[in-house]
Structure 1
Amino acid sequence: MTRIVAVHGVLPEHRYEQSDITEALAGMCLPAGGDRSVLERLHATSSVQGRHLALPLERYASLSGFGAANDAFIEAALLLGEQAVRGALDEAGLRPEDIDLVVSTSVTGIAVPSIEARLAGLLGLRPDVKRVPSFGLGCVGGAAGIARLHDYLEGHPDQVALLLSVELCSLTLQRSDVSPQNLVAGALFGDGAAAVLAVGRDRVHAAPRPAPTVVATRSRLYPGTERTLGWDVCDSGFRIVLAADLPDLVRTHLGEEVRAFLAAHDLKTEDVTAWVCHPGGPRVLDAVREALALPARALELTWRSLAEVGNLSSASVLHVLRDTLELRPPLPGTPGLLAAMGPGFSTELVLLRW
């Protein structure tokens, strides 16, 4: 089984209260003298109290277009990515040259060479390190990334694999777009990065603390849901696609998917001692709880992450995993479930054992 030996999350230095971001977005997205009531209501009901941003808040109004925003993405992504990987290496007691595979994921900027390739020399990765950069997974990317590490390590059980997620959602903001989708995105999404280090079952490694193992994974695409969640790529960058029926899709599909996955391993939802769930937003989290019939406390760390840093896309579920390990580690030997939903519409499930 794959062992997760480190999970390290990082955030940009620029933190703002939700009210400050609301005020700034009103100036950037609404016409002069426009009605602010919808914007203010969405921000007030988002359950987000504050967020970290890649740039100082006052710089966003001066970004001249997609190219400028993407240049800012690369610069900030390299800084945060290096911090995340170095933190994970220190936490695991591993060296850069120990890493055999790097999977990187982001949906908020484009870089060729990719971010992990640009970081390889700075970090001291081996020249023969295998790289799998991914784009387009969105919020499901953190869970899918762990699943792909597990797939690789099952076939290379003596090796070490790294997942790097960097998401700078603030740089995708569409100015002068007053659509409900853009206003919702402006209320929920923040910036952050995370790195996960995992080792195969035959790798001798003394983890500094108990390391959860990956038991199994499940990926699922739901046909006919392509316009539920994603990007429309336009001259000004990434314009969000966000259907109003997303919570209903969660209610329709997630419960059946999770129960079938657990049943395949002789488990039920009540056996799960830790729910590591992506904080999609308050309506989505309510739908998750209803679909799985969970007690309120089950998603407490997810709600906490949403309140403190917002939705970090693929990095969010990794921050919740880190918080689970640090703040509420389950009893050894008990099962946990890591779950995320993303474009496709898709779900990714990872069965853990603590």
Structure 2
Amino acid sequence: MTAGTITPGIDVTETHAPRTKPAAGAARIVGVGTANTEHSYSQRELLDHFAIEDPKVRSVFLNSAIDRRHLSLPELDADGAPIEESQGELLTKHRRLALDMGARALRACLDNSGLEPSDIDYLCCVTTTGFLTPGLSALLIREMGLSPRISRVDVVGMGCNAGLNALNPVAGWSVANPGKVAVALCVEACSAAYVIDSTLRTAVVNSLFGDGAAAIALVTDSQDTAHSAPEAPTDSGSPRILAFASHLITDAIDAMRFDWDDAQGKFSFFLDPQVPYVVGAHAERIIDRLLDGAGLRRSDISHWLVHSGGKKVIDAVRVNLGLTRHDVRHTTGVLRDYGNLSSGSFLFSYERLLQERVTRSGDHGVLMVMGPGSTIEAALVQW
């Protein structure tokens, strides 16, 4: 497939959303926490740092609906030019930033949930911006002094949709192990996945992504606890995860991908310009299927938490689903303040929703993310 040739509605593989489970047998979200790298920069500051003067590239940066992003920039040489980082140096950067952000996001999540590190029974780590062996989960266990008996898994390379892809099996593990604590941690050191050149292709990517990590903790009530309140909804701060749905647009499988750049000796990320429109065209299909499984309509959803994939992506999803700007206020706010944080973006939005204290018992919410594949993932929750 070449750029600009994606055709909406062709060659689609779907998995069907499960029927809503009884409330007593669903995993509850008991905590969330986020972290970023130390320094944030405005788009103009980034253009100045890299001495970018091309008007087309500047326009991409300045019309992105992004005000600031957290990044770990390369140092400058004696002439004020950024020092080129090799792929090996970028992998080292990824390890350093991922461990730091990941540990801080995990601690913030535990603090938010009233848990201790020793309470974690299952840890799933997600990243796309670097490769580590042993994985990030093993490194965090050592660095944070977590129990070496923790069950763990690492999800690597899935992209911006990976947070919900990981949350699905983590929720399944939680349901199978009631009373135990399962944590999903998304860590994206996008500073370690940049190629710097003068092409418009890289300008789109370089204008968009930022560094961030987000963790979410789940617990499923034990049978005794569930029997004490069999059908009662949870309190407004602890929603249950009711269902998941996936939608893979196989005709757009090359629309978002890492390529090896021989000239630079690095991996380079590619975004097809048609991605927002393709994602928007398929948004209704997955959301309606998710809600049909629970006997709900879009009008029954009180809270929408959509991946901050970019201005055009958010607009396409909003228009196709008939959402208001208020519905996606957390999504656009995260994009404005952090850029696209890849797999953890939706958890930054979820955290903002909780901080508003507007959720009520019985409210339904939809989590929705998009990424390479091209893939749309969604989950239904209820407070």
Cα offset, 1:17, TM superposition: 1.4
Alignment partners' CA distance in 1, 2:326 and 2:130: 35
**Residue in 1 aligned with 2:249?**
222
Which residue of structure 2 aligns with residue 53 of structure 1?
71
Alpha-carbon distance, 1:151 to partner: 1.7
The answer to whether the Cα contact below 8 Å between 1:26 and 1:36 also exists between their aligned partners in 2 is no
Q: Which of the residues 245, 255, 267 maps onto 2:284?
A: 255
Query: Given that residues 14 and 56 in structure 1 are in contact (C-alpha distance below 8 angstroms), is that contact kept between their aligned partners in structure 2?
Result: no
Q: Secondary structure at the match of 2:40?
A: strand
- Report the counterpart of residue 14 of structure 1 in structure 2: 39
More displaced stretch, 60-69 vs 190-199:
60-69
**Higher relative helix content:** 1
- What are the Cα deviations for residues 287-324 of structure 1, in whole angstroms up to 9, with x where unaligned? 00111011121101111110011111011111111111
Aligned length: 345
Amino acid at match of 1:223: T
Partner residue, 1:282: 311
- In structure 2, the residue matched to 1:211 is 238
Task: Find out whether 1:25 has 2:50 as its counterpart.
Answer: yes
Distance 2:76 2:183 in 1: 35
CA distance in 1, matches of 2:84, 2:100: 19
In structure 2, what is the Cα distance between the partners aligned to 1:352 and 1:168? Answer: 28
Q: CA deviation at 1:55?
A: 4.3
Secondary structure, aligned partner of 1:273: strand
Distance of 1:182 and 1:173 partners within structure 2:
8
Distance 1:246 1:113 in 2: 33
2: distance between equivalents of 1:232 and 1:208? 46
Computed over aligned residues only, the root mean square deviation of the Cα atoms, in angstroms, reads 2.1
Unaligned ranges ≥5, structure 1: 28-34
Aligned to 2:22: none
Match of 1:165 among 183, 186, 193: 186
Does structure 1 retain, via aligned residues, the 8 Å contact 2:74–2:83? no
User: How many percent identity over aligned positions?
Assistant: 31
Partners of 1:119 and 1:264 lie apart in 2 by 38
Residues in 1 aligned to 2:356 and 2:82: alpha-carbon distance in whole angstroms = 38
Aligned position for 1:181: 201
Matched, 1:138 2:156: no
Q: Report the secondary structure of 1:161's partner residue.
A: strand
- How far apart, CA to CA, are the structure 2 residues paired with 1:349 and 1:58? 42
Deviation at 1:208, TM superposition (A): 10
Q: 2:378 aligns with which of 341, 349, 354?
A: 349
2:267 is paired with a residue whose SS is strand
- 1:243-295 Cα offsets, whole Å, 9 max, x none, are 11111212221112111211111111111100011011011011001110111
Cα distance change of structure 1 residues 249 and 174 upon mapping to structure 2, 3 Å threshold? same
Paired residue type of 2:129: T
Query: What secondary structure is seen at the aligned counterpart in 1 of 2:328?
Result: helix
8 Å CA contact 2:237–2:359 kept in 1: the answer is no
Q: Contact 1:141 / 1:314 at 8 angstroms: preserved in 2? A: yes
- Measured in 2, the distance between the counterparts of 1:74 and 1:253 equals 35
Matched residue SS, 1:336: strand
C-alpha displacement of 1:16:
1.1
Residue 175 (structure 2) aligns with: 154
Q: Which amino acid aligns with 2:100?
A: L
Paired with 1:329 and 1:130, the residues of 2 have a C-alpha distance of 35
Tell me if the contact between 2:304 and 2:367 (Cα under 8 Å) persists in the aligned partners: yes
Check whether the contact 2:66–2:336 (CA below 8 A) recurs between aligned residues: yes
Distance 2:41 2:217 in 1: 30
2:296 is aligned, of 264, 267, 275, to 267
Structure 1 residue aligned with 2:7: none
CA pair 140-240 structure 1, distance change in 2 beyond 3 A = same
Q: Residue 219 of structure 1 aligns to which amino acid in structure 2?
A: S
In the alignment, the residues of structure 2 paired with residue 117 and residue 230 of structure 1 have an alpha-carbon distance, to the nearest angstrom, of 27
Q: Within 2, Cα distance between the matches of 1:344 and 1:137? A: 8
Q: Which residue pairs with 1:39 in the alignment? A: 57
Measure how far apart 1:210 and its partner are: 2.0
1:192 aligns with 2:221: no
**What's the TM-score once normalised by structure 1's chain length?**
0.92
The structure with more radius of gyration: 2
Give the TM-score of the pair, scaled to structure 2. 0.85
- Give the match for residue 135 of structure 2: 114
Counterpart position of 1:335: 364
